[in-house]
Amino acid sequence: MTESPSISPVGTRRPSLKMMLLQLRAYIALIVLVILFALLSPAFLTSGNLIILTKQVAINAILGIGMTFVILSGGIDLSVGSIVGLCGMVAGWLINEGLILPMFGVSVFFNVWIVILLTLVMGVVVGVVNGVLVTRLRVAPFIATLGTLYVARGAGLLISDGATFANLVGHASLGNTGFPVLGSGTLLGLPYPIWVMVLFAVVAAFVARKTPFGRQVYAVGGNEKAAGLSGVRTNRVKLLTYMISGLCAAMVGLIIASQLVAAHPATGETFELNAIAVVVLGGTSLMGGRGTVGGTIIGAFVIGVLVNGMVLLGVSEFWQIVIKGTVIVLAVVVDQWQQRMQQKALVQD
Amino acid sequence: MTRIADIAPLPKPILRAEQIVKQYPGTTALKGVYFNVYPGKVNVLIGENGAGKSTLMKILAGVEQPTSGRRLLRSEAIEIASPRDGLAHGIGIIYQELSLFPNLSVSENIFMAREMVSGVGVVRHKAQDDITRQLMTRLEQPIAPRTLVEDLRIGQQQLVEIARALAEDVSILIMDEPTSALSNAEADILLRIIAELTAQGVAIVYISHKLDECLQIGDVFTVLRDGHLIAEAPAHEVDLAWIVEKMSGRSAEGMFHKQVRVTGEPVLEVENLSLPRAHGGGFLVDDVSFTLQVGEIVGIYGLMGAGRTELLECLFGMQPNARGSIRLGGRPIDNLRIDQRIRAGLALVPEDRQLLGLVQNLSVSKNITLASLKRFIQGLALSRKQERQEVQRLIEALAIKVADARQPITTLSGGNQQKVVIAKSLLTQPTVLMMDEPTRGIDVGAKSDIFNIMNDLADEGLGVLFVSSELKEVVAMADRALVMARGRLVATFAGDAITEQNLADASVSVPSANPPERP
């Protein structure tokens, strides 16, 4: 056939130190922040503070994991904050008032495990609505999920007419006690929310890297038409990403309601922006097709450490917001820079 | 290698490239290339895909910067930092891929980024429209200046692209595959314009895969191969055999060799397939019936708009409104989704590689396995080892030029990208392989590779159905040729009856009320 390959090898040579530093920049930034705050504030590295910090990180990380799948496939999910609120309310309602069956004139109370399951299903259902709007009705993801952002928030308010479900401890007589354990219980000294984050992260990373579905998510985000012609069921892949996002948001709704032992309909407002921020901070491209779950977790820790450290140092809350925004944009700028460096490095190889 | 000093009676080059080296991730596209552009001449640049033609042109126009090497304009070394800079030096370029704005008008496209502006900063649409009208008259196109580009036929769009270059006052005009989407009549207009320009002393750099066209208009021929200058020669020393030999490094004999094949059972049976137009009456595919046999290569010929691509789209399940019966290996498949048809044994290599064939953010390996992921599942996960083995097997079988299967797909040349798309299709283990313009935008060497692959596959018992708008290709490759016109199947030829004359005549015939072939 044609002549011998004239292509220089790629990926076989060891990357330069500079490239390696750039690739590991999120980790480096995290370590630098940790060292900085440890030096500036003696309270920072105490185990008590680190556990509080990680519990806060867990919220953004779990939301970010779901968001990562949606963004990788080329979509966006603005409704996660409202799903957090709605699902908290659903859990609170099921525990405090039970499922009211008017035709029988009774309320059915469920075991806490069933409550958790039903709440997660609720989150997935909102994800299905998002997915159907995007795939079947061809609404742009931004608009579709903006719509569900409002609808889910309104639905949460309607459940209790705007009131809070307080004291979600259940009754021994109804067999539905134990809900607060999810938020405040510990295993091996670590609170459950941290374990939930670890579990979600491990499963999500496996799904993204090792399964056909994960590969297809990257393909759909890269070139949807070509993926479709390769037999990838693009609509199903996109629908599943919104369902995953809904599930993650429901989990966060449960964790927060359990931590507070109360469900408030306004919970989770603007959480969608934090979720998008940690995803982007973790190096995932909003254009779809590029990014990792691991990056998102690191992104969540960077934001978490930053906020926690600034609080300890007594930085004004208003400055915190300014700095957070600056860091997010800076991360994207460095990411673009790395992309260009990588192109060049490949050339020089 | 021909020494440039040996060439006698040409004028001094207006533009010259010296020792140009260009490296991309994973590839060195140019390895110290020299190139002369002579004023008032048609400078034809030829070479296989991946030889570096387009890269060299982008460097001359300032779109890309060389890794090393010099560019000399009228014997003075210059920097060409951007296309705008190139234009300031009098160098214009018409790109291989259309670079128009479909949502804007013809006139807005022509004056993009150099709008005629009045004193207060308002665009002078009227004045722009007048110039556009003049350009369109010169190109013999009855196109109104305010027509949106997306409403034009693809050939007309290419002429608008050419008009955009003509609106500039250039002394060097680079044309990269300018006729690839033009009809013969439109191509003749372009060739006339080129003659006008050279008479005015403008240097034309002309790249085309249509070698007969190059021979017709070229004054000086330069051949690149594998990032090197192979030869430069004036027209009187050049003929087709010379070009093919220099391009591929081997003689032209045996490029197309048709084998006599014994074909078997019908594998694809199509009956009364129709696709109504989305708007208005009529059919894009009109009551088409044919069969494809095991081990047979069937070529579909027709002019643009004859419904060839749409026919393949119906067969592959991309057109939900298609009606008719399709059986693959005796089993009806017309109600199946694309993924189910793939599993049933149908595969398609689409015409537009970038838009429909490749996922650009994935590696070579991940592109090849994308349609067959189920095969690599072990437990819950994909087996990287199995993937690697299968990918390596295909890379070797199809002679894909790639250093590492994990390389980004975008670092490959067009011919190799096409082979990746074919590899992806073959990995699904099809019984019928459909190929839409399998050699579009591919050089002679890769073309003959792809023909060999098609022959091998047919020998292994695949049914191969391909669409082509090149008569030579259909004549050379097809065991049986179908001709389409206005959505209908108007003729079928087999064996020695497949001649360029027969195909061309049939393609312009008016479809009769009854289709000629009914199995």
Tens of pLDDT, residues B220-257 = 999 988 788 988 989 888 887 788 778 766 544 444 55
Query: Which chain B residues are closer than 8 Å to A223 by Cβ?
Result: 355, 358-361
Query: Which chain A residues are closer than 8 Å to B25 by Cβ?
Result: 10, 342-343, 346-347, 349
Tell me the C-alpha distance between A163 and A250, whole Å. 20
Percent of chain B past pLDDT 70, that is, above it, reads: 90
User: What pLDDT, on a 0 to 100 scale, did the predictor assign at position B420?
Assistant: 94
Which residue, among B427, B433, B425, B311, has the nearest Cα to B358 in the 3D structure?
A: B425
For chain A, how many helices (H) and strands (E)? 14, 6
Average pLDDT of span B262-269: 83
B24 or B55, greater pLDDT? B55
DSSP B388-442: HHHHHHHHHHTT---S-TTSBGGGS-HHHHHHHHHHHHHHT--SEEEEESTTTT-
- What letter does residue B12 receive in the DSSP assignment? P
Instruction: Kindly report which listed range (B192-201, B328-337, B442-451) carries the lowest average pLDDT score.
Output: B442-451
* Interchain CB distance below 8 Å, A218 and B361: yes
| CB contact B363 to A (< 8 Å) | no
User: What pLDDT, on a 0 to 100 scale, did the predictor assign at position B142?
Assistant: 84
Q: Is A122 exposed, middle or buried (0-12, 13-18, 19+ CB in 10 A)?
A: buried
Range 319-358 of B in CB contact (< 8 A) with A: 337-339, 342-343, 348, 350, 355-358
* Interchain CB distance below 8 Å, A5 and B403: yes
**Pairing, β B488-494 against β B480-485:** antiparallel
B/e letters for A261-275, b = 16+ CB within 10 Å, e = fewer, are bbbbbebbeebbebb
Closest Cβ opposite residue A7 in set B27, B424, B452 = B27
| Residue B5: pLDDT over 70 | no
Q: Is A288 exposed, middle or buried (0-12, 13-18, 19+ CB in 10 A)?
A: buried
Mean of the per-residue pLDDT values of chain B = 85
Q: How many residues does chain B have?
A: 519
Beta strand residue intervals within B308-372, DSSP E? 323-328, 331-332, 346-349
**Pairing, β B68-73 against β B76-78:** antiparallel
Mean of the per-residue pLDDT values of chain A = 88
Closest Cβ opposite residue A222 in set B360, B403, B411 = B360
Which residue, among B404, B408, B410, B374, has the nearest Cα to B391 in the 3D structure?
A: B404
Tell me the C-alpha distance between B72 and B45, whole Å. 18
Tell me the C-alpha distance between B396 and B404, whole Å. 12
Instruction: Kindly report which listed range (B61-75, B176-190, B390-404) carries the lowest average pLDDT score.
Output: B176-190
Contact B490, B484 (CB under 8 A): yes
Q: Which domains does chain B have, with CATH numbers?
A: 11-90+169-247 (3.40.50.300), 262-345+430-519 (3.40.50.300), 361-429 (no CATH)
Tell me the C-alpha distance between A252 and B325, whole Å. 51
Tell me the C-alpha distance between B387 and B393, whole Å. 10
| Residue B307: pLDDT over 90 | no
User: What pLDDT, on a 0 to 100 scale, did the predictor assign at position A348?
Assistant: 53
Tell me the C-alpha distance between A13 and B25, whole Å. 13
Q: pLDDT tens for residues A320-346?
A: 889 988 988 888 888 788 777 776 665
B368 or A107, greater pLDDT? B368
pLDDT level of residue B512 (50, 70, 90 thresholds)? low
| Residue A83: pLDDT over 90 | yes
Q: pLDDT tens for residues A235-257?
A: 999 999 999 999 999 999 999 99
DSSP A224-238: HHHHHHTT--HHHHH
Tell me the C-alpha distance between B222 and B216, whole Å. 15
Residue recorded with tokens 């993204």: A208
Which residue, among B274, B507, A102, B230, has the nearest Cα to B221 in the 3D structure?
A: B230
Residue recorded with tokens 């990014």: A291
| CB contact B382 to A (< 8 Å) | yes
* pTM of the predicted structure, to 2 decimals: 0.77
Shortest distance between the Cα of A27 and any Cα of chain B, in A, equals 24
User: What pLDDT, on a 0 to 100 scale, did the predictor assign at position B359?
Assistant: 93
Q: Which residues contact B226 (CB under 8 A, 6 or more apart)?
A: A3, A6, B31, B50, B51, B52
Q: Which residues contact B28 (CB under 8 A, 6 or more apart)?
A: A6, A7, A8, B21, B22, B227
| Residue B2: pLDDT over 70 | no
Query: Which chain B residues are closer than 8 Å to A135 by Cβ?
Result: none
Closest Cβ opposite residue B403 in set A1, A10, A211 = A10
Neighbouring C-alpha atoms within 13 Å toward the C-beta of B35: 34
- What letter does residue B371 receive in the DSSP assignment? G
| Residue A1: pLDDT over 70 | no
Tell me the C-alpha distance between B142 and B230, whole Å. 43
User: What pLDDT, on a 0 to 100 scale, did the predictor assign at position B87?
Assistant: 86
B/e letters for A202-211, b = 16+ CB within 10 Å, e = fewer, are eebbebbbbb
| Residue B141: pLDDT over 70 | yes
Contact B209, B48 (CB under 8 A): no
Specify which of A307-321, B19-33, B48-62, B174-188 reaches the highest per-range mean pLDDT: A307-321
| CB contact B381 to A (< 8 Å) | yes
Q: Which domains does chain A have, with CATH numbers?
A: 44-314 (1.10.3470)
Query: Which chain B residues are closer than 8 Å to A215 by Cβ?
Result: 366, 370, 373, 382
Neighbouring C-alpha atoms within 13 Å toward the C-beta of A119: 35
| Residue B115: pLDDT over 60 | yes
User: What pLDDT, on a 0 to 100 scale, did the predictor assign at position B316?
Assistant: 94
Q: pLDDT tens for residues A108-121?
A: 788 889 899 999 99
Q: pLDDT tens for residues B63-90?
A: 889 999 999 998 889 888 988 888 889 9
Average pLDDT of span A211-234: 93
What does R_g of chain A's alpha carbons equal in angstroms? 22
Q: Phi then psi for A314, rounded to 5 degrees?
A: 75, 25
Tell me the C-alpha distance between A100 and B500, whole Å. 79
CA distance to A157, B207, B313, B387, per residue, from B94 (Å): 60, 10, 31, 41
User: What pLDDT, on a 0 to 100 scale, did the predictor assign at position B517?
Assistant: 45
Contact B140, B170 (CB under 8 A): no
Largest CA-CA distance found in chain A, in angstroms, rounded: 83
State the sign of the Cα–Cα–Cα–Cα dihedral B237, B241, B247, B249: negative
Q: pLDDT tens for residues B465-474?
A: 999 887 888 8
Query: Which chain A residues are closer than 8 Å to B399 by Cβ?
Result: 1-2
* Interchain CB distance below 8 Å, A230 and B382: no
* Interchain CB distance below 8 Å, B348 and A11: no
Specify which of A151-155, A310-314, B331-335, B448-452 reaches the highest per-range mean pLDDT: A151-155
User: What pLDDT, on a 0 to 100 scale, did the predictor assign at position A267?
Assistant: 93
CA distance to B20, B64, B110, B145, B372, per residue, from B82 (Å): 17, 8, 19, 28, 43
Tell me the C-alpha distance between A321 and B185, whole Å. 64
Range 177-196 of B in CB contact (< 8 A) with A: none
User: What pLDDT, on a 0 to 100 scale, did the predictor assign at position B66?
Assistant: 92
The SS3 call for residue B254 is: coil
Instruction: Kindly report which listed range (A81-85, A123-127, B104-108) carries the lowest average pLDDT score.
Output: B104-108
Give CA A258 to chain center in angstroms: 18
Best B68, B343, B352, B361 residue to mutate vs chain A (most A CBs within 10 Å): B361
Percent of chain A past pLDDT 70, that is, above it, reads: 94
CA distance to B272, B301, B508, per residue, from B286 (Å): 8, 16, 16
Residues forming beta bridges with residue B44, ordered by sequence position: B206, B221
| Residue B7: pLDDT over 70 | no
For residue B123 the two structure tokens come to 């665009």
B336 or A170, greater pLDDT? B336
pLDDT level of residue A131 (50, 70, 90 thresholds)? very high
